[in-house]
Amino acid sequence: MRASVGSTGRQLPANKEATTRGIPGGAPRKQGMIADVGIRIAKIDLPGIGVRHDLVTEGGHRVSVVSQRNGDRSIGIIDDDDEDTCRASIALSDDEAAALADVLGASVMLSRLTSLSDETTGLYTEQIALPTDSPYLNRPLGDTKARTRTRCSIVAIMRDGTIIPSPTPTDVLRPGDLIVVVGTREGLDGVEKLLANGPG
């Protein structure tokens, strides 16, 4: 049986028991969001077929994602009573897999945004409407130098009911844009002023 443990893409020395039995919380702490909560994903080679990634949840349930070489992929749910047995295996098409990943990713991002408004962290999320007379109207986001000037991050732009997540410095600001910013109280005030009046 070959098993290697990888979390956030990094390979750790294989520890067969911990890998396959998947002890949550037993993972060494590493940088980044994923390591912080002790998530352990085991990568298991299936020779001739493809690769499998196993995730053991905090509740002790095991979920497998099988990626076959021929492009087929499926999600497997492991029986809680018998950890060797797969209770259900669901095949996913390319589009379905992408859609599922999007839904999960988006829900995580949303909950992260809302949890950031927790007072104890001192970080706030705010939606700032771009003033109609803003000097940055129809100019790229990078021109605001918001991060350097205010130490705030612009995490998304909402425009016409759609969302532009993680905008790049080249994304152009348009009239009516709602800008989602994360930062300290002071910093957010600074962004508001910056967008209204420009630097200085």
Partner 1 sequence: MHDTTLLLIEVGALLLAMSALGRLATWLGLSPIPFYLLLGLCFGQGGAVQLGASIEFIQAGSEIGIVLLLALLGLEYTAAELIGGLRTSRRAGLLDAVLNALPGAALALLLGWGPVAAVTLAGVTWVSSSGVISKLIGDLGRLPNRETPVILSVLVMEDLAMAFYLPVLSAIAAGVAFLQGAITVGIAVAMVTVILVVALRYGHLVSRLFPADHYEPLLLGVLGLTMLIAGLAAKASVSAAVGAFLVGIAISGKVAENANQALTPLRDLFAALFFVFFGIVTDSSSLWSMVLPALALAAVTIATKVLTGIYAAHQAGIGPLGRWRTGMSLTPRGEFSIIIAGLAVTSGIVPAALAPLATTYVLITILAGTILARMPDAPWFRARVAHHT
Q: For binding to partner 1 (CB under 8 A), which residues are involved? A: 1-3, 16-17, 20, 44-49, 52, 54, 64, 66, 68-70, 74, 76-78, 82-86, 88-89
* Residue-wise burial string across 135-172, b where 16 or more C-beta atoms lie within 10 A, e elsewhere: ebeeeebeebebeeebebbbbbbbbeeeebeebeeebe
Q: In angstroms, what is the minimal distance from the CB of 75 to partner 1?
A: 8
Q: Would strands 162-165 and 124-129 be described as parallel, antiparallel, or unpaired?
A: unpaired
Nearer to partner 1, 50 or 142 (CB): 50
- The DSSP code for 119 is G
Distance CA 168, CA 175 (A): 18
Which of 76, 131 has the CB closer to partner 1? Answer: 76
Tokens, residue 121: 């962290």
- 67 or 153: whose CB is closer to partner 1? 67
Nearer Cβ to partner 1 (73/159):
73
How far apart are CB 200 and partner 1 at their closest, in Å?
A: 54
